């Protein structure tokens, strides 16, 4: 089985976390961000993660992939169809995503998953939606303040997992959206949020940049 992913992509991180938790062996393929052909050939769309199953079919929705991988439903995947996820968690993810993407994109593009061509492709594509990366860096205090408010809301609901004493698909989704902040210069999560993320990372045997920095 093969996972096609981008290291920085939170939806791809979801699947990597689940694969680690479930001890499932897979081939990891980090695609260059400017490779349009591979994902389009596999699923008709340039969107990752893509999971290629043993029967050679492919899926490209992170939550569907995890549900199918998690046959014993350790992550309580039914939660994704409840208002807890569709309203509350999706709202939290959207607030996290807006800030984390604006803060991290200018830094992600200098991590080893990018080369010159893929970096230029990424910056050009992302600047259409978010404006120049130089402006994002100038405005970082605003994004950090907003992120702080979201993290305070998150913290209130950790017991120690999100409104639960067991780790579920909700925690995989939240941790994946926040993980990229570990590379943001001088940023520190509060002790509680850091412990939350690291516990999830440990449970899932997760190594963010394993594909490049450890081998």
Ligand X SMILES: N[C@@H](CCC(=O)N[C@@H](CS)C(=O)NCC(=O)O)C(=O)O
**Number of helices (H), then strands (E), in the chain:** 11, 4
| Smallest distance, ligand X to C-beta of residue 160, A | 25
170 with 77: CB under 8 angstroms?
no
Q: In angstroms, what is the minimal distance from the CB of 140 to ligand X?
A: 21
How many Å apart are CA 51 and CA 5, to the nearest integer? 9
SS3 145: helix
Closest to ligand X by CB, 101 or 147: 101
- Tell me if 11 contacts ligand X by CB under 6 A: yes
Q: Strands 2-5 and 27-30: what pairing?
A: parallel
Among 3, 4, 7, 9, contact with ligand X (rule: CB under 6 A) = 9
Q: How far is the CB of 60 from ligand X (least distance, A)?
A: 6
Nearest-approach distance from CB 192 to ligand X, in angstroms: 27
91 touches 162 (CB < 8 A): no
C-beta of 42 vs 48, nearer to ligand X: 48
Assigned token pair, 2: 């093969």
Q: Least separation, in Å, of the C-beta of 18 and ligand X?
A: 12
**125-134 contacts at long range (C-beta below 8 A, 24 or more positions apart):** 126/101, 130/101, 130/102, 130/105, 133/105, 133/106, 133/109, 134/106
Shortest reach from residue 190's CB to ligand X, in Å: 25
Binding mask 142-161 for ligand X (x = CB under 6 A): --------------------
Contact 85, 170 (CB under 8 A): yes
Decide: is 108 part of the binding site for ligand X (CB under 6 A).
no
Number of residues this chain uses to bind ligand X (CB under 6 A) = 10
168 by Cβ neighbours in 10 Å (0-12 / 13-18 / 19+) ranks as: buried
Where does this chain touch ligand X (CB under 6 A) — which range of 6-14, 21-29, 70-78, 185-193? 6-14
**Binding residues for ligand X restricted to 39-68, rule: CB under 6 A:** 46-49, 61-63
Residues 151-210 that bind ligand X (CB under 6 A): none
Instruction: Name the residue nearer to ligand X (CB basis): 61 or 90.
Output: 61
Q: Which is nearer to ligand X, 1 or 47 (CB)?
A: 47
Strand (E) positions, 24-79? 27-30, 50-52, 58-59
Residues lying near ligand X in the complex (CB under 6 A): 6, 9, 11, 46-49, 61-63
């Amino acid at each position: 089985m093969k996972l096609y992913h981008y290291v920085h992509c939170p939806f791809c991180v979801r699947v990597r976390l689940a694969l680690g938790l479930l001890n499932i062996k897979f081939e990891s393929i980090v695609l260059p961000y400017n490779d349009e052909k591979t994902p389009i050939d596999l699923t008709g769309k340039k969107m990752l993660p893509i999971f290629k199953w043993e029967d050679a079919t492919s899926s490209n929705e992170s939550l569907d992939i995890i549900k199918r991988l998690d046959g014993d439903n350790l992550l309580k995947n039914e939660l994704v169809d409840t208002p807890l996820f569709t309203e509350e968690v999706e709202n939290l993810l959207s607030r996290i995503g807006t800030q984390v993407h604006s803060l991290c994109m200018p830094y992600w593009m200098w991590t080893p998953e990018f080369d010159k061509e893929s970096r230029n492709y990424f910056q050009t594509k992302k600047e259409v939606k978010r404006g120049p990366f130089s402006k994002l860096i100038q405005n970082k205090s605003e994004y950090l303040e907003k992120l702080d408010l979201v993290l305070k809301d998150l913290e209130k609901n950790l017991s120690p997992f999100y409104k639960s004493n067991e780790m579920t698909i909700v925690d995989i989704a939240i941790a994946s959206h926040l993980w990229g902040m570990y590379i943001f210069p001088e940023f520190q999560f509060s002790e509680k949020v850091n412990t939350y993320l690291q516990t999830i990372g440990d449970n899932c045997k997760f190594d963010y940049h394993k594909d490049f920095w450890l081998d």
